Structure 1
Amino acid sequence: MYSTPFHTTSINHLTFLVTGGGGFIGSNLVEYLLLHGAGSVRVLDNFSTGFRQNLLPFAGNPALEVVEGDICDLATCLAACEGVDIVLHQAALGSVPRSIHNPAMSNEVNVSGFVNMLTAAKDQKVKRVVYASSSSVYGDSVTLPKVETQVGNPLTPYAVAKRANELYADVFAKTYGMEIIGLRYFNIFGNRQSPEAEYAGVIPLFMEALLQGRAPQINGDGLQTRDFTYIENCVQANIKAALVQNPKALNQVYNIATGVRSKLLEVYQIIGKAAGVQQEPHFKPARIGDIKDSLADISKARALLGYNPQVSMPEGLQRTFKWFKLQKQLLEQAH
């Protein structure tokens, strides 16, 4: 993973802060930065949804510093941003169902925590903040493909929070002269995405079920479409956003996806083929807040960030399944 760099200038003089660095996307960013010689990589995570084991492969690297703390505490954010050049803000309480179950907590972490991070970055004179937004901000808009300028009405508390992030980022950029870039992720999947989390993504749940010989669950008829995006493409977008020099690219939000949509049943069939298993899934009612179709227009990210997704959904699924299978084998050997 990440043997080919997504950047062209040295990063060995830069200090990065990755919030949520113990999580799925955060730990992949940490891996990339350390592999390519970042001067310093600080992780801020309270490990409520992230995993310490995601950072174990890098434990001996002197450039890595792990701070256990919560973005809901402003003092913690201020300390974490001290001496930092670039913040990659991934810390959040993800998941649409979780936000429906506990909207107050979703707001506290995803909105108040985000404002804390922007405030800390402002006060500590951080050069740039790149943050994770979400395709959920498109809400009830049925327009396809999704274009950054046409958002709909949010359908869930999580979507409200992510839209609030974008509004706060815009205000902080204009009011305080900050450099802030938002990335609207579309269904990111890949290595280190946990199937054990309470609100796990559908792809790790499919893989876990098939590796255990169980039939997975599909909410809805399986014909809903998504722009499934492999983690390596997501990391590329973050690095490009962190280092882009084009002034027109700053203080914008971008769709981060592949520009291709796939039915959920197609995804399941590809995973089943990789697993060598033909197992009929269990169909359950569609979830509240789930949309039928999603597809990103990525032309803005291509033009202004130089983003160019390298890994297709089928190839990403193959890579991810190999990783999951290896983890299962290592776990069995350990026992």
Structure 2
Amino acid sequence: MPQELTYVITGGCGFLGSHLVRMLVERKEHIRELRVVDKKVRDFPTLDDKSKDKLRVYEADIRSRERMLAICSGADVIIHAASLIDFPDGTYTQEELWDVNVRGTENLLNCCLETNVRCFVYTSSVDAFGPNWRGDPLEDGDEESPYDRSRLSSAYGTSKMAAERLVQEMKGRTTKNGGKLHTCALRPPHIYGEGSTLDLSFIEVAKRGARISKPDVKARQVYVGNVALAHLLAAEKLASPDGIAYDPVYNIHDDTPITNYQEFFEYLSPDVKIQERMVLPLWLLFFIARVFASVRFLLKPFCNFVPPVSRNVLLNCNTTFYLNCAKARRDLGYSPLYTWEQSRQRTVDWIESQLAG
């Protein structure tokens, strides 16, 4: 009989976190308790009363040692999905990104050691691997592909890489009661699906049709339900007797078409049609982005100016960069739960409901 486990999900009221909560409740009959942590809490109206009996929702900051020690006490698994995502570029300062994404993760890992939590699954990002500052391409890379990561293209990616390294370094550390901490990080690309307010923003921008990416550039996207599944499979593996044997990092994707990043949103909305030609030469777009960066620097003492376009956005839109998940399929038994057709239709239905409302 499967063991009963107590889960803590950070960012559990957010986009990915809410899908994790629902999937865990639907797929797990042997949950002792499910603790959902977020800075902005909300209800889960679609869950039945029996499921809600095991659900505890906490309003908390992952950087608070005292608060998180209390919440993590007695838990078996932490799935850490809380993160600051810097979009548009400049929404957060480098200090804010580092404080939440790195120090917050470090605090949770230390809480695991103090409270004897034995499994920690971290939501990383493909941005933690690349593209780098030069925009070097990588096609079908794996977790060990040689790639210069000495300087990544974004402050967000740098913060996720640093947090990912902490997760790797903590693997096998001894907890307070003498046990071993089992950790791993999952690297999805851009996540789409029901509940993604970012996708709504992307679509509004994409409706203008202005192309800022070369047509031959390719990237991966992944459906949120399949990312949630990968997290639960990773947690199950880490909680098993041989959990310490699993690798510390796994790439995650599904059968969503590998396509141009801008053109991807044509799949999700009939109102999106990206122009065939670039709106301006790429060199000129980069020059404009540099001017905006200078303006942002000059205004920093007075206000947080968020540029309409940045070097990082242009670099990501014009760099072919995507990874494979062969190792996750082999080690975690990961296979997408939702097909591309299902993922697309569920997302389109949600987007239409939001735009109609």
Q: Which residue of 2 aligns with 1:46?
A: 39
Shift of the alpha carbon at 1:174? Answer: 3.8
Q: Which residue of 2 aligns with 1:233?
A: 226
Q: Does 1:129 align with 2:132?
A: no
Q: Which of 152, 157, 160 is matched with 1:159 structurally?
A: 157
- Answer whether contact 1:100 1:157 (CA < 8 A) is retained: no
Q: Which of 85, 104, 121 is matched with 1:113 structurally?
A: 104
Q: Which of 276, 293, 304 is matched with 2:320 structurally?
A: 293
- Answer whether contact 2:13 2:36 (CA < 8 A) is retained: yes
Give the root-mean-square deviation of aligned CA atoms: 2.8
- Answer whether contact 2:129 2:161 (CA < 8 A) is retained: no
| AA aligned opposite 2:232 | I
CA–CA distance in 2 between the matches of 1:184 and 1:158? Answer: 14
When Rg is computed on C-alpha atoms for both structures, the one with the higher figure is 2
SS, match of residue 138 in structure 2: coil
Going from structure 1 to structure 2, the CA distance change for 1:237 and 1:299 (only over 3 Å counts) comes to same
SS, match of residue 243 in structure 1: helix
CA–CA distance in 1 between the matches of 2:244 and 2:140? Answer: 23
Going from structure 1 to structure 2, the CA distance change for 1:208 and 1:288 (only over 3 Å counts) comes to closer
Q: Which of 128, 142, 163 is matched with 1:147 structurally?
A: 142
Q: Which residue of 2 aligns with 1:183?
A: 186
Going from structure 1 to structure 2, the CA distance change for 1:278 and 1:126 (only over 3 Å counts) comes to closer
Shift of the alpha carbon at 1:192? Answer: 1.1
1:6-45 equivalence runs, <5 A:
10=2, 13-36=4-27, 37=29, 38-45=31-38
Q: Give the share of equivalent positions with the same residue, in percent.
A: 25
CA–CA distance in 1 between the matches of 2:148 and 2:92? Answer: 22
Unpaired segments ≥5 residues, structure 2: 175-179, 286-308
Shift of the alpha carbon at 1:166? Answer: 1.9
Going from structure 1 to structure 2, the CA distance change for 1:122 and 1:327 (only over 3 Å counts) comes to same
Going from structure 1 to structure 2, the CA distance change for 1:22 and 1:32 (only over 3 Å counts) comes to same
Segment of structure 1 superposing worse, 147-156 or 308-317: 308-317
Q: Which residue of 2 aligns with 1:3?
A: none
Segment of structure 1 superposing worse, 140-149 or 299-308: 140-149
CA–CA distance in 1 between the matches of 2:125 and 2:202? Answer: 22
1:215-230 equivalence runs, <5 A:
215=208, 219-221=212-214, 224-230=217-223
Shift of the alpha carbon at 1:221? Answer: 4.6
SS, match of residue 311 in structure 1: coil
Q: Does 1:57 align with 2:71?
A: no
Going from structure 1 to structure 2, the CA distance change for 1:248 and 1:99 (only over 3 Å counts) comes to farther
| AA aligned opposite 1:57 | T
Going from structure 1 to structure 2, the CA distance change for 1:252 and 1:27 (only over 3 Å counts) comes to same
Segment of structure 1 superposing worse, 102-111 or 156-165: 156-165
Q: Which of 65, 68, 90 is matched with 1:77 structurally?
A: 68
CA–CA distance in 2 between the matches of 1:131 and 1:312? Answer: 24
CA–CA distance in 1 between the matches of 2:57 and 2:195? Answer: 18
CA-to-aligned-CA distance 1:251-310 (integer Å, 9 cap, x gap): 4100011265211344233223xx4x4655695846322421222111110111111124
TM-score, normalised on structure 1?
Answer: 0.81
CA-to-aligned-CA distance 1:62-99 (integer Å, 9 cap, x gap): 11111001011111111110111111100110236446
Going from structure 1 to structure 2, the CA distance change for 1:40 and 1:143 (only over 3 Å counts) comes to same
CA-to-aligned-CA distance 1:37-58 (integer Å, 9 cap, x gap): 33321111112xxx626x3434
Q: Which of 265, 270, 283 is matched with 1:268 structurally?
A: 265
Count of residue correspondences: 304
CA–CA distance in 2 between the matches of 1:93 and 1:126? Answer: 24
Q: Which residue of 1 aligns with 2:81?
A: 90
- Answer whether contact 1:261 1:294 (CA < 8 A) is retained: no
Q: Which residue of 1 aligns with 2:293?
A: none
TM-score, normalised on structure 2?
Answer: 0.76
CA–CA distance in 2 between the matches of 1:109 and 1:99? Answer: 15
Q: Which residue of 2 aligns with 1:308?
A: 335
| AA aligned opposite 2:213 | G
- Answer whether contact 1:96 1:156 (CA < 8 A) is retained: no
CA-to-aligned-CA distance 1:146-169 (integer Å, 9 cap, x gap): 211135322222111111112211
Shift of the alpha carbon at 1:249? Answer: 5.1
- Answer whether contact 1:206 1:271 (CA < 8 A) is retained: no
CA–CA distance in 1 between the matches of 2:98 and 2:19? Answer: 25
Q: Which residue of 2 aligns with 1:5?
A: none
Unpaired segments ≥5 residues, structure 1: 1-8, 195-199
Q: Does 1:256 align with 2:252?
A: yes
Shift of the alpha carbon at 1:175? Answer: 3.6
CA–CA distance in 2 between the matches of 1:41 and 1:138? Answer: 31
Going from structure 1 to structure 2, the CA distance change for 1:57 and 1:160 (only over 3 Å counts) comes to same
Going from structure 1 to structure 2, the CA distance change for 1:74 and 1:283 (only over 3 Å counts) comes to farther
